Amino acid sequence: MTEGLKILIVEDEIILAEDLKARLNRMGYNIIGIADSFNSAMTTLYHHRTDLILVDISLRGKKTGIDLAHKVNQEFQLPFIFLTSHADKYTVQQANKANPYAYLLKPFNDKQIDIAIELAITNFAQRTDQFKSKTSDSSEGKRERVIKNGLFLKNRNHYQRVRLDAI
């Protein structure tokens, strides 16, 4: 059984979040939710299996996306991509301390989103032992990422999850 990557969008600008959701759905990904704050993101993470998080650096409330990224690293060990319209040196330095797996500067297009997801999955594979990366030498250049209970296969323009117990 295959299923698209499960993505949480953490963005306080609802129009941008809905646009991103529509783009990702068209690409074949499953959006498990949209959160606009640290607390709502944490609630979603505790209640839903998540494969990847797209998180804006600026969020509603006192805690930032950077705070969320540190918490994700501590509790969930999930790949995340920072979204931001801020490219100033200070913001980038603060974001880098959270060790993001990719970075998307607003405004972005579908190709940039696709590249960021590919980069995040690849970086996560290299940084953790949860994933064991394998690259096929086939003419299609398909890539697969193995995790404890599943496998992520690159299929055209998106990753699909295959549960190991379904194989």
Residue type, 142: K
- The pLDDT assigned to 140 comes to 42
Q: Check pLDDT > 50 for residue 2.
A: no
**62 SS3 class:** coil
3-state secondary structure of 56: strand
Predicted pLDDT at 128? 67
Looking at residue 60, the DSSP 8-state letter turns out to be B
Q: 101 vs 13, 57, 124, 127, CA distance in Å? A: 22, 14, 6, 9
- Window from 7-21, 108-122, 137-151 with minimum mean pLDDT: 137-151
Q: Does residue 107 have a cis peptide bond before it, meaning omega lies within 30 degrees of 0? A: yes
Tell me which residue of 106, 61, 63, 47 sits closest to 81, measured CA to CA: 106
Q: What is the pLDDT of residues 38-84, one digit of tens each?
A: 999 999 999 999 999 999 999 999 999 999 999 999 999 899 999 99
Q: What angle do CA 38, 152, 51 make, to 5 degrees?
A: 10
Residue 159 confidence (pLDDT) above 70: no
pLDDT of residue 153: 66
3-state SS, residue 37: strand
Record the tokens describing residue 47, joined without a space. Answer: 């209640």
pLDDT in tens, 73-126: 999 989 999 999 988 899 889 999 999 999 999 999 999 999 999 899 888 877
Nearest Cα neighbor of 106 from 11, 5, 6 is 11
The three-class DSSP label of residue 12 is coil
Return d(Cα 2, Cα 98) in angstroms, integer.
Answer: 31
Summarize the confidence of residues 1-13 as an average pLDDT. 84
Query: What is the strand order of the sheet 150-155 is part of?
Result: 2-4, 158-163, 150-155, 143-147, 132-135
153 or 23, which is more confident: 23
| Contact criterion met (CB below 8 Å) for 66 and 98 | yes
